[in-house]
Amino acid sequence: MAQAPERLAALYDILQTPAADLDFERSFARCLQKLRSVCSADRGGIYLLENDSYRSVASAGLPERSGSRLRLDRGAEPLRTAERRRAPVIGGPPAACAPGAQSSLAAPLRYAGRHVGALLLTARRAGRMTREHGLFVSLITDKLAQALVSSREMRRLARDARTDGTTGLPNARASARRLEQELARAEREGTTVGVLFLDIDGLKPVNDRCGHSAGDKLLAAAGLKLEQSLRSYDFVGRIGGDEFLAILPGADPRGIEKRIREIKRQVSAVPVAVAPGVKVSAAVSIGAAFYPRDGMTAQELLDASDRRMYADKESGRAGRQRRQNWFFIDSGSGPGGSRRIQ
């Protein structure tokens, strides 16, 4: 093999890199740079298979930031042929994968007998990719595939560590971190931050009468409705029990009462089926606080919104809001056969 010493050194570096750094994206970027150099490629990408498309985990030679958004269809050539042959494929212009390229090298990434991703290198000059390049790439595909699977598992664990398992919303730790980030940004930019402390009313009776699985269904449905009731750039997370936290960057205190009424309306609008024959129309108590009016720190804002949430809950118990959280028992005999119980 021509340039054998240089390629052996590159091979050693590539094989060592994934194991030497737990920042997998940085490791993949380093591997890709080495591969581009060895294979005389103008562009390259390492892709993780997700359903029927490839998501880029590392790219080189592409416009800034475009690589991280790049997705390729699983059936795109030459990726499809490489997957079918289970070996690197040297080819001509890759259809739709890299506009302007005249030669390509595609290699499947397999782990434990399964196809998990792909490597694609391209060049603007025809005939740039050779059989020697294919042989070189075949020496490192197993290592890349193993690293790709490890990176996917690390991402899953990181996501799980930030996510509430019942609602799929960010958990208490992720919510606290987001609040600190929004407060820091508001301080820099001189803007406001709205903090809503939300409590789902009547969760305990649901748990007591129908079981905790029914309560979980109520929480999940309420969390979804809360998320849908907010703006796309707002934040909502579950911080424990029946409590949620919403963060509203740039919110105007003058319009908060109207927004709170709309959130309550959306949460209680559609009864939730929590058990066979049982539907619950959820209600929510909400307290609001604003940076910098009500506090300068996260704790001050949480305390203020928590106090106002309890005031809202007490007023709701004496008025109409309490009646919104009744059980709807569906006996299956039509509207006339349904009844409510508190």
Q: Is residue 252 part of a domain?
A: yes
Same domain, 282 and 134: no
- pLDDT score at 277: 84
**Percentage of the chain surpassing pLDDT 90?**
48
In a domain, 167, yes or no: no
- pLDDT interval class at 186 (50, 70, 90): very high
Q: Which residue has the higher pLDDT, 103 or 237?
A: 237
Asked whether the predicted pLDDT for residue 231 surpasses 90, the reply is yes
Q: Is 294 within the bounds of a domain?
A: yes
pLDDT of the residue at 333: 42
What is residue 105's predicted lDDT score, i.e. its pLDDT?
93
Is a pLDDT exceeding 60 seen at residue 340?
A: no
Q: What share of the chain is helix, strand, coil (3-state, %, to 5)?
A: 45, 25, 25
Kindly tell me if the per-residue pLDDT of 256 is higher than 80: yes
pLDDT of the residue at 61: 74
Q: Quote the CA–CA distance of 282 and 200 in Å, as a whole number.
A: 7
Averaged pLDDT for residues 196-209: 91
Domain CATH code at residue 56: 3.30.450.40
Q: Domain end: 162, 197, 223, which one?
A: 162
Domain CATH number, residue 331: 3.30.70.270
pLDDT of residue 5: 61
Partners of 160 in the β-ladder: none
Q: Determine the residue type at 325.
A: N
Q: Taking the alpha carbons of 147, 152, 153, 157 in that order, is the dihedral positive or negative? A: positive
Q: Are 259 and 287 found together in one domain?
A: yes
What is the pLDDT, as a whole number, of residue 155?
A: 78
Q: Is residue 135 part of a domain?
A: yes
Say if residue 3's pLDDT is above 80: no
Distance CA 120, CA 103 (A): 11
146 and 9 assigned to the same domain? yes
- Same-domain status, 253 and 328: yes
pLDDT for 207 beyond 50: yes
Note if the pTM is more than 0.85: no
Let me know whether 333 and 265 are in one domain. Answer: yes
Of 140, 162, 184, at which residue does a domain stop?
162
**Residue 85 and residue 226 in one domain:** no
Mean pLDDT value across residues 288-302: 97
19 or 139, greater pLDDT: 139
The answer to whether 198 touches 286, Cβ cutoff 8 Å, is: yes
Residues paired with residue 249 on neighbouring β-strands, in sequence order: 193
Q: What is the pLDDT of residue 319?
A: 52
Looking at the structure, tell me whether residues 133 and 199 fall in a common domain: no
Give the max Cα distance, the chain. 86
| Alpha carbon distance 104, 89 (integer Å) | 8
Q: Which of 167, 203, 186 is nearest to 301 (CA)?
A: 186
**Do the beta carbons of residue 266 and residue 203 sit within 8 Å?**
no
186 with 106, same domain? no
Q: What is the pLDDT of residues 59-111, one digit of tens each?
A: 887 644 444 456 788 888 889 999 999 999 998 777 556 667 888 999 999 99
pLDDT at 72: 85
Q: Which of 122-131, 289-298, 318-327 has the highest mean pLDDT?
A: 289-298
User: Do 308 and 222 fall within a single domain?
Assistant: yes
In the DSSP assignment, the letter for residue 153 is H
pLDDT band with cut points at 50, 70 and 90 for residue 174: very high
Looking at residue 18, its pLDDT comes to 57
Q: Is the same domain home to 156 and 191?
A: no
What integer pLDDT is reported at residue 62 of this predicted model? 60
Residue 193 has pLDDT above 90, yes or no: yes
Task: Return d(Cα 202, Cα 316) in angstroms, integer.
Answer: 12
d(CA 283, CA 278): 16
How far apart CA 179 and CA 296 sit, in angstroms, is 12
**Does residue 117 or residue 327 have the better pLDDT?**
117
Indicate if the alpha-carbon torsion angle 290, 291, 292, 294 is positive or negative: positive
Out of 112, 141, 162, pick the residue that ends a domain: 162
pLDDT the model gives residue 39: 87
Domain containing 313 equals 172-341
Higher pLDDT, 93 or 263: 263
What confidence score (pLDDT) does residue 4 get? 59
Mean pLDDT score of the chain, rounded to an integer? 84
Asked whether residue 322 carries a pLDDT value surpassing 80, the answer given is no
Q: Is the pLDDT at 324 greater than 50, yes or no?
A: no
Q: How far apart are CA 219 and CA 330, in angstroms?
A: 20
Same domain, 9 and 41: yes
**Percent of the chain, pLDDT > 70?**
81
What confidence score (pLDDT) does residue 317 get? 60
One-letter amino acid at 70 equals L
In the chain, the number of structural domains is 2
Does 156 share its domain with 256?
no
